[in-house]
Amino acid sequence: MIKLENVTKVYKGEVLALHEASCDIQKGEFVFLVGPSGSGKSTFLRLLNKEEDPDKGKIFVAGKDIGSLSRWRVPYLRRNIGSIFQDFKLLPNKTVSQNVAFALECIGRPKHVVKTQVPAILELVGLQKKMHNLPHELSGGEQQRVSIARAFVNRPLILLADEPTGNLDPATSVGIMRLLDRINRTGTTVVMATHDRGIVDTMRRRVVELDGGQIVRDQARGVYA
């Protein structure tokens, strides 16, 4: 599903974000990216949906070499990849259901699809009762659920999560992880960058550890350190 071949990314000619990183992630896997700040986790994720381009090496997503993807094809790549973030990136002036519907409207899905898919996904994340609330009326955990609903409503093949529990307390984080685990069980490949030792050690999934831009550990059913 995802394959990196000797990928190197250098920022502004000096900051080495990734160095000769190679990694192969199968369909349906759940992978934790761990490592200190600045070790290249976010760069790893940003390379996968072509927000950044590598300086060296090749990246394959869903069997395609995304380095050879033309600029105007990038949106179609991103329709196969859901993304969630530490800061949720919800639109403050749209309600919960409008935020989720926006993701479908943006890719030209017909109205009747939007009408059926949005309530269904909100039920999956447990927010059907708050679909008419604005984001600031929700707790952090609920906001993250909305952002997961938005990322997943189009049923992408891959879900990228950049420290999704970074702003949440441990109890709320457990709820978010249960949700991600459920999504993973539907066959969606999940790659999650995290600093949360507790989560990684409880879930016991594949762990890829980065340090100074290099992959220093790749362990099935691993722990944080």
Does residue 181 belong to the site contacting another protein (CB under 8 A)?
Answer: no
Decide whether 14 or 72 has the Cβ nearer to another protein: 72
CB 92 within 8 A of CB 135: yes
* Sole window of 101-109, 121-129, 136-144, 179-187 interacting with another protein (rule: CB under 8 A): 101-109
Decide whether 78 or 195 has the Cβ nearer to another protein: 78
Decide whether 167 or 214 has the Cβ nearer to another protein: 167
Residue 76: which residues within 8 A CB-CB, separation 6 or more? none
* Sole window of 10-18, 86-94, 136-144, 165-173 interacting with another protein (rule: CB under 8 A): 86-94
The rounded distance, in Å, linking the Cα atoms of 140 and 145 is 9
Decide whether 111 or 197 has the Cβ nearer to another protein: 111
CB 122 within 8 A of CB 96: yes
What are the C-alpha distances in Å from 213 to residues 6, 82, 145? Answer: 12, 24, 30
Decide whether 80 or 214 has the Cβ nearer to another protein: 80
Determine whether 214 is exposed, middle or buried from the number of CB atoms within 10 Å of its CB (0-12, 13-18, 19+): middle
Does residue 144 belong to the site contacting another protein (CB under 8 A)?
Answer: no
* Sole window of 67-75, 117-125, 172-180, 203-211 interacting with another protein (rule: CB under 8 A): 67-75
Whole-number minimum distance, CB 11 to another protein, in Å?
17
DSSP state of 213: T
CB 225 within 8 A of CB 217: no
Q: Which residues bind another protein (CB under 8 A)?
A: 49, 71-72, 75-79, 83, 89, 91-92, 102-103, 105-108, 150-151, 154
